[in-house]
Amino acid sequence: MKAIIAYSTLTGNTETAAEWIGEYLEDAGYSVRLEEADNIFPGTLADYDLIVLGSPTYWGGDVTDDFVPFLNQMEGLKLTSKRAAVFGLGDASGYPDEYCHAAEILEERLLRCGAFLAAPTLKIDGDPTEQKHLIQDWVRSLS
């Protein structure tokens, strides 16, 4: 089975989480492609059995600027019956109203394209290294 992880990062924390997700998916038997969202065309998502999108929440609760073109290009994309999952990073104590809102934006776009969420969205509060076990458990729920 093939999985793709498309992510954006500001401080490197989302990239770290994406790399761990990729490693755990490989351990579960997936062939994994890991890419920053601005390096791929969304049309390629249809070629994968599992689609994973991840972003930190940026400023007023949005995805990062480099994820915006990717999301715009997803408009009208058909991902009917594709398994998908979303992870997001945020700061619950500093920005409780916007906590992981970017993940909700990614969820909504995947659902509008016809994909279904294979697991509840993983929301990571702060530094992912302190929550590596949560990431591993979440990946187990995907496979």
Torsion of CA 124, 125, 128, 134, to 10 degrees: -50
Q: To 5 degrees, how large is the angle CA 96–CA 111–CA 100? A: 15
Q: Quick one: which H or E segment has residue 24?
A: helix 13-27
Q: To 5 degrees, how large is the angle CA 115–CA 3–CA 58? A: 70
pLDDT confidence of residue 126? 86
In the chain, where are the structural domains located? 2-142
User: Mind listing the pLDDT tens digit for each residue in 70-107?
Assistant: 999 999 999 998 999 999 999 888 888 889 999 999 99
- As a whole number of angstroms, the distance between CA 65 and CA 17 comes to 19
Residue 143 has pLDDT above 80, yes or no: no
2-142 belongs to which CATH class? alpha beta
Residue 108 has pLDDT above 90, yes or no: yes
Structure tokens that stand for 38 in this block: 């601005």
Residue 120 has pLDDT above 90, yes or no: yes
Residue 121 has pLDDT above 90, yes or no: yes
**Cα→Cα distances 21→75, 77, 99, 139, Å:** 26, 24, 21, 6
Structure tokens that stand for 78 in this block: 């058909």
Model confidence band, residue 140 (pLDDT cutoffs 50, 70, 90): very high
pLDDT confidence of residue 130? 85
- As a whole number of angstroms, the distance between CA 130 and CA 61 comes to 23
Quote the strand ranges of the chain, DSSP E: 2-7, 31-36, 50-56, 83-90, 116-117, 122-125
Phi, psi of 40 (to 5 degrees): -135, 160
User: Mind listing the pLDDT tens digit for each residue in 15-59?
Assistant: 999 999 999 999 999 999 999 999 999 999 999 999 999 999 987
